[in-house]
Amino acid sequence: MQRDSYLQLKEKAVVLRKEGKVYSEILATIPVAKSTLSLWLRQVGLAKEQKQRITEKRIAAQKKGAAARRSGRKKTQSDIYAECAKDITSLSDREIFLIGIALYWAEGDKEKEWAPGRSIGFSNTDARMISIFLNWLVRIIKVDPSSIHFAIALHETSKGRISEIQEFWSRETRFPLEMFNTIYRSLNDSSN
């Protein structure tokens, strides 16, 4: 690159930076390495408005990147689920039994020495886990569905959505709406 054109590019880069342009915008016009651009612009002072524009562009780029990563994760997860669904077409009673035992072991209320004879309890926020556990109780353990009781732990921020939440759980579990009348405030509610 000739010295004159090199200096012209540098001057143009400085002008663009003083207009509040971010590196990606400058590099779209000035064909140099990012490291070279960084050296050229190291000492360029910026006005408050220019700094603000650069900060806003940086934040927008971060949000866009985060959204792309989230979208990529969702697609990967969806692809994995679809692939697994091909492999697992149905489960035997023994497989459901083992899955239910593992779920109870992980998420179920365990009997304590000081509270023997407690009924089975299971807590989870994932509707699929709840459905699998209910299937295990009814189909495998042969629990009478009418003896199953539901309680919703509700965070303070959701208190205005009680009906919506009750309807959601009724729809997801396929149990009647009236079985979701017990509501507790969540223990992780910071206002307790």
Assess whether 68 and 100 both reside in one domain.
no
> Does residue 191 form part of some domain?
no
Model pLDDT for residues 18-41, shown as the tens digit of each residue: 888 888 889 999 989 999 999 998
Assess whether 4 and 85 both reside in one domain.
no
Residue in 10, 12, 15, 23 with CA at minimum distance from that of residue 46: 15
> Does residue 190 form part of some domain?
no
**Mean pLDDT calculated for residue range 2-25:** 85
Stated pTM of the model: 0.56
Assess whether 75 and 97 both reside in one domain.
no
Assess whether 76 and 159 both reside in one domain.
no
Query: Which two structure tokens, joined as six digits, stand for 23?
Result: 């590196």
> Does residue 80 form part of some domain?
yes
- For the chain, give the percent of residues with pLDDT over 90: 48
pLDDT of residue 157: 85
Answer for the pair 160, 130: CB distance below 8 angstroms, yes or no. no
Assess whether 6 and 32 both reside in one domain.
yes
Q: How far apart are CA 146 and CA 167, in angstroms?
A: 18
Assess whether 96 and 82 both reside in one domain.
no
Residue 81 amino acid letter: Y
Domains of the chain: total:
3
Assess whether 41 and 55 both reside in one domain.
no
Assess whether 83 and 95 both reside in one domain.
no
> Does residue 192 form part of some domain?
no
Q: How far apart are CA 167 and CA 160, in angstroms?
A: 14
Assess whether 64 and 121 both reside in one domain.
no
pLDDT of residue 189: 45
Q: Which domain holds residue 40?
A: 1-45
Q: How far apart are CA 150 and CA 183, in angstroms?
A: 9
Model pLDDT for residues 60-75, shown as the tens digit of each residue: 989 999 999 999 999 9
